[in-house]
Chain A
Amino acid sequence: MAEFLLELFSEEIPARMQARAAEDLKTLVTGALKAAGLAFDRAEAFVTPRRLALVVDGLPAVRPDVVEERKGPKVDAPQQAIDGFLKATGLTLEQCEQRDTPKGKIWFANLIIPGGPTADLLPEVIRKAILGLPWPKSMRAAEEVVRWVRPLHHVLALFDGKLVPFRYDLHRPDIDGSGEGAKAAVDSTVGHRFLAPGRISVAGFADYRAKLRDAYVVLDREERKALIKAQVEQQAKAAGLALRDDPGLLEEVAGLVEWPVVHLGRIDDAFMEVPEEVLVTSMRTHQRYFALEGADGTLAPRFAVVANTETKDGGATVIAGNERVLRARLSDAKFFWDQDRKTPLESRVKDLEPIIFHARLGSVAQKVERMAALSAWLAPKLGADPALADRAARLAKADLTSGMVGEFPELQGLMGRYYALAQGEPPAVAEAIADHYKPVGPSDRCPTAPVSIAVALADKLDTLAGFFAIDEKPTGSRDPYALRRAALGVIRLITENKLSLSLRAAFGAAWDAYRVDGLRDRTVVVEELLSFIADRLKVAMREKGVRHDLIDAVFAVGGEDDLLRLLGRVDALAAFLGSEDGANLLTAYRRAGNIVRIEGKKDGVEAFGEVDPARFAMAQERALFERLEADAQPLRAALAAGDFAGAMTTLAGWRKDVDAFFDAVLVNDPDLALRRNRLALLEDLARSMDAVADFSRVEG
């Protein structure tokens, strides 16, 4: 068994592309190996800023012959077809065999694909990998024609410790390596750009990894992440501080270094009065620094920078340089903080006029007007003060024109809150400004304060209504206006805050707020939005582990536009089916359904019509009928009142009569009139149950 080692060495690969590239390389190479009939034990990919590496273990030194069976034409097929088959396989008729098949005698051929040294097959595998790697963005270098993420410098390829005879030429689209511009694979690499720039010869993967380590390169990305985290934590601890966890930043930084060396720097006290979100964002997005915090969780005036090298002054120059850069950055941030507070949010609202929300839906200023109207409409329904909701909605987008949000768009909303508080707005208004974009996904915090909910809902309802009204609905994987996310936001705001709200009325109000021409019909738009929300609700609930068949069963009843009531029904249905009475009634429902379907088919009828009490022959049929009759009105009333638990209790009460009916009554009575009436009674039972939920959709 032998080992294959491949390294593609290039100029710095963007950090965000590295992990994916390593996986892609592994998939491509192992796929090509399998396609070439080569089995192996294990494959592992690695990536640093300058190299993609892959080791495949347990490959055979020699690939065995592979026998491939080919099916040919029928034995009695025209000669032309048989000749064609022989030509394609390169065999004579004597080398083929006849076999009996259900379709008659057919010619079969066994093609033997000769094996050979595995090393001979590897160049093609490497070639496919280089050509197949799907970089999100790629470039041509110098006079080359093959696109790669950045200039590719060498290909290291070893099989069983020996150099693979691979030649390639990036000046040719197929990288065919037979011409003059071709390069050969190598059996050496280079270490850290500054700490160990010389060439290192490599004998195999273990040797490669160990020598790189000696040459200041930590090959394994996960190990680099662990090293960075441990170093930051240890140095923070020594300073009496703690790392503020930031997995996303750790991922990125691990892709910016081959030899991580952590240093702590200081943030000037003068900047600590700026909101900490601003400091953290500036450090993070511009400088890739980790934030540290004190025991009370507040931001500490220190940062952790991950350098890519060891320096002879122990990092003093590196730290001083980074502190200097941060000072310049934060001076900008402090400037915006000081400047922005000089302009009241209210006077920024008019600056939203030239900002386009959507060419057909008007400006952001117009959106704000609609949000204010909608928030005030929603407020009483949510227990929020309409005046505060209106105020918050009017100011919600004003920070978009501030210098700070111009510089750090991700601080939208948050800066609005700071500026609102600074100008003395009520806290509820400030919170609503900060939270109105929320929740921005399934795991984001969901607002709970009434005014915040009103503005957050208004923003999303307005967006959904507008885009549906101009027929810009999501399709497949395309959702450029993030309408699915907006719908999920609506669902989470309503369900998690247990709001009773008619969505039909809410979407209608959102549509009414638009003052632009060319919108699609109000009713059509609202109904489409309701079914869009229903779809998203199913997805959201499925992810929470709610049985989708129960959701389907409740949705199938239709007419309900109050999410809280819908989910209440689902819960009640789940509880009911979990009880003995419920399970039993479901069995009876199915039995009834089966009988009605089978008999209906026999008779060639869709339905058996009305029950005729005059035709009852047995007490059990009468008892069941009377039970259904007696409960019909209370059941309707319970459903209308949203009392699903009550409706389910009513259903549970039917069990005795249903059981007694099936025990005693023969549905298929020879008397056809009796039979028909009993089938009609079973239909009645199913219909009565379906008014609560469509039990035919329940699975299991």
Chain B
Amino acid sequence: MPPRDLVVAPPPKSFQEIILRLQNFWAAQGCLILQPYDMEVGAGTSHPATTLRSLGPDRVWNVAYVQPSRRPKDGRYGENPNRLQHYYQFQVLMKPAPADSQDLYLRSLYALGIDPALHDIRFVEDDWENPTLGAWGLGWEVWCDGMEVTQYTYFQQVGGIECDPVPVELTYGLERLAMYLLDVKSVYDLPFNDPQTPGAKRYGDVFLRAEREYSAYNFEHADAAILLQHFKDAEQECKALLERRLALPAYDQALKAGHTFNLLDARGVISVVERAAYIGRVRDLARACCRLWLDAA
């Protein structure tokens, strides 16, 4: 049985309580609590607080934040209880990776009410790669009773550049985790705040309409010609800003190009052959931004 000094919190009551507990936990570990990046990105990794800061200039960088993640292709018009085109990740980056990062991480699960005396928690090999960022690392999927609750990665390269020191990145899929902890079958039934609160809202009250409308936009109404122009503009602007040695604004344009590509992909206007070429173009931008971020520091 687990050691007696183990503190497992009572179960959370709502989606937002899970976020608050994670923020409090990681703040107590000395992480900066940043806010979401104000651009459309596919994952918390794309936030400059992870991508750029995992490379430098600080040798020590500990940060945690929520990041809305947009995956246009994953939209299901609000009809699939497990899939969303807009969802939340809770992202932690610690550089250098602490020697006891696994223990720290497990304590964050205890803080969410996951009791290892009841659950089967395992670290299962999963090597992570993000081709549009030119990033990869080794680590695991963390399983709780067979469900992936976190992607756990020791970054080795970002933007094609070796990470030194090596950071550890923890990415919690918040909706999935919440559905498990709060025992609901559909994401739209998740209590967003405490259900006892007068006027309490569920996840669907907040996001169902958005899922429907954005699915229609992503798959049917996005104007391919305009998006293609946006892609070109972002690429061109990114390159121009790189010339002016403005790494952060250039990186924003690289993110914009990346998201525009995702929209085009969801719209079905990119062929298999072109797909690889578009990913390559975004990666080239991201790499150049990462290099400039270090060079111009």
A and B found bound together:
yes
Interface residues of A (CB under 8 A from B): 11-12, 14-16, 49, 137-144, 149-151, 153, 194-195, 197-198, 256-257, 287, 305, 307-309, 311-313, 317-318, 320-322, 324-326, 328, 331, 354-356
Cβ-neighbour of B118 out of A257, A317, A325 (below 8 A): A317
> Which of chain A's residues have a CB closer than 8 A to the CB of B16?
none
Known contacts A140-B156, A142-B165, A331-B82, A355 near B272 by CB under 8 Å: yes
The answer to whether A195 and B2 have CB atoms under 8 Å apart is yes
> Which of chain B's residues have a CB closer than 8 A to the CB of A305?
146
Q: Once the chains are docked, how many angstroms separate the CA of A49 from the CA of B123?
A: 9
B83, chain A: closest CB distance, angstroms: 9
Cβ-neighbour of B154 out of A49, A141, A153, A326 (below 8 A): A141
Cβ-neighbour of A324 out of B2, B122, B180 (below 8 A): B180
Q: Once the chains are docked, how many angstroms separate the CA of A331 from the CA of B82?
A: 10
The answer to whether A322 and B146 have CB atoms under 8 Å apart is yes
The answer to whether B145 and A321 have CB atoms under 8 Å apart is yes
Q: Once the chains are docked, how many angstroms separate the CA of A354 from the CA of B2?
A: 55
The answer to whether B145 and A317 have CB atoms under 8 Å apart is yes
**Chain A contact residues, majority secondary structure:** loop
> Which of chain B's residues have a CB closer than 8 A to the CB of A142?
96-99, 165-166
> Which of chain B's residues have a CB closer than 8 A to the CB of A141?
97, 154, 166
A383, chain B: closest CB distance, angstroms: 39
A508, chain B: closest CB distance, angstroms: 32
Q: 12 extra interchain contacts, Cβ-Cβ under 8 A, other than A143-B165, A313-B118, A317-B119?
A: A11-B123, A141-B166, A142-B96, A151-B97, A256-B124, A311-B117, A312-B1, A312-B117, A318-B118, A328-B82, A354-B273, A356-B272
B294 within 8 Å of A by Cβ? no
> Which of chain A's residues have a CB closer than 8 A to the CB of B121?
194, 309
B138 within 8 Å of A by Cβ? yes
The answer to whether A14 and B125 have CB atoms under 8 Å apart is yes
The answer to whether A356 and B273 have CB atoms under 8 Å apart is yes
Cβ-neighbour of A137 out of B97, B127, B146, B164 (below 8 A): B127
Q: Once the chains are docked, how many angstroms separate the CA of A312 from the CA of B2?
A: 10
Q: Once the chains are docked, how many angstroms separate the CA of A256 from the CA of B144?
A: 13
Please list 30 pairs of residues, one from A and one from B, whose beta carbons are closer than 8 Å in the complex, sorted by A's number: A11-B123, A12-B124, A12-B140, A14-B125, A138-B138, A139-B156, A139-B166, A142-B99, A142-B165, A143-B165, A144-B166, A150-B138, A194-B2, A194-B121, A256-B122, A257-B122, A307-B120, A308-B122, A309-B121, A311-B120, A312-B1, A318-B119, A318-B120, A320-B145, A321-B144, A322-B146, A325-B146, A325-B147, A354-B272, A355-B272
B271 within 8 Å of A by Cβ? yes
B102 within 8 Å of A by Cβ? yes
Determine the residue in chain A with the shortest Cβ distance to B148.
A325
B68 within 8 Å of A by Cβ? no
> Which of chain A's residues have a CB closer than 8 A to the CB of B258?
none
Chain B, 1-18, CB within 8 A of any chain A CB:
1-3
The answer to whether A311 and B166 have CB atoms under 8 Å apart is no
The answer to whether A195 and B127 have CB atoms under 8 Å apart is no
B56 within 8 Å of A by Cβ? no
Chain A proximity mask over B1-41: 1 for CB below 8 Å, otherwise 0: 11100000000000000000000000000000000000000
> Which of chain A's residues have a CB closer than 8 A to the CB of B97?
141-142, 151
B116 within 8 Å of A by Cβ? yes
Interface residues of B (CB under 8 A from A): 1-3, 82, 96-99, 102, 116-125, 127, 137-138, 140, 144-147, 154, 156, 164-166, 180, 271-273
B140, chain A: closest CB distance, angstroms: 6
> Which of chain A's residues have a CB closer than 8 A to the CB of B273?
354, 356
B12, chain A: closest CB distance, angstroms: 16
The answer to whether B138 and A326 have CB atoms under 8 Å apart is no
The answer to whether A11 and B102 have CB atoms under 8 Å apart is yes
The answer to whether A309 and B96 have CB atoms under 8 Å apart is no
Q: Once the chains are docked, how many angstroms separate the CA of A179 from the CA of B120?
A: 40
The answer to whether B180 and A354 have CB atoms under 8 Å apart is no
Determine the residue in chain B with the shortest Cβ distance to A354.
B272
Known contacts A311-B119, A354-B273, A195 near B1 by CB under 8 Å: yes
Determine the residue in chain A with the shortest Cβ distance to B125.
A14
A337, chain B: closest CB distance, angstroms: 15
- Choose among B98, B122, B271 the residue with the greatest number of A CB atoms under 10 Å from its CB: B122
> Which of chain B's residues have a CB closer than 8 A to the CB of A149?
138
The answer to whether A326 and B146 have CB atoms under 8 Å apart is yes
The answer to whether B82 and A139 have CB atoms under 8 Å apart is no
B116, chain A: closest CB distance, angstroms: 4
Determine the residue in chain A with the shortest Cβ distance to B275.
A354
> Which of chain A's residues have a CB closer than 8 A to the CB of B120?
307-309, 311, 318, 321
Q: Once the chains are docked, how many angstroms separate the CA of A322 from the CA of B164?
A: 38
Determine the residue in chain B with the shortest Cβ distance to A313.
B118
> Which of chain A's residues have a CB closer than 8 A to the CB of B147?
321, 324-325
Q: Once the chains are docked, how many angstroms separate the CA of A458 from the CA of B204?
A: 53
B29, chain A: closest CB distance, angstroms: 16
> Which of chain A's residues have a CB closer than 8 A to the CB of B122?
12, 256-257, 308
Q: Once the chains are docked, how many angstroms separate the CA of A16 from the CA of B126?
A: 12
The answer to whether B3 and A198 have CB atoms under 8 Å apart is yes
Known contacts A12-B140, A198-B3, A318-B120, A325 near B145 by CB under 8 Å: yes
> Which of chain A's residues have a CB closer than 8 A to the CB of B125?
12, 14-16
> Which of chain B's residues have a CB closer than 8 A to the CB of A139?
137-138, 154, 156, 166
The answer to whether A197 and B137 have CB atoms under 8 Å apart is no
Q: Once the chains are docked, how many angstroms separate the CA of A151 from the CA of B137?
A: 13
> Which of chain B's residues have a CB closer than 8 A to the CB of A14?
125
> Which of chain A's residues have a CB closer than 8 A to the CB of B138?
137-139, 149-150
> Which of chain B's residues have a CB closer than 8 A to the CB of A194?
2, 116-117, 121
Determine the residue in chain A with the shortest Cβ distance to B118.
A317
B284, chain A: closest CB distance, angstroms: 22
- Choose among B82, B119, B124, B145 the residue with the greatest number of A CB atoms under 10 Å from its CB: B145
Q: Once the chains are docked, how many angstroms separate the CA of A431 from the CA of B154?
A: 46
> Which of chain B's residues have a CB closer than 8 A to the CB of A256?
122, 124
The answer to whether B116 and A309 have CB atoms under 8 Å apart is yes
Determine the residue in chain B with the shortest Cβ distance to A142.
B96
> Which of chain A's residues have a CB closer than 8 A to the CB of B1?
195, 312
Q: Once the chains are docked, how many angstroms separate the CA of A308 from the CA of B119?
A: 10
B108, chain A: closest CB distance, angstroms: 15
> Which of chain A's residues have a CB closer than 8 A to the CB of B144?
321
Known contacts A317-B145, A322-B146, A355-B272, A140 near B166 by CB under 8 Å: yes
> Which of chain B's residues have a CB closer than 8 A to the CB of A12?
122-125, 140
> Which of chain B's residues have a CB closer than 8 A to the CB of A324?
145, 147, 180
B189, chain A: closest CB distance, angstroms: 14
Q: Once the chains are docked, how many angstroms separate the CA of A141 from the CA of B156?
A: 9
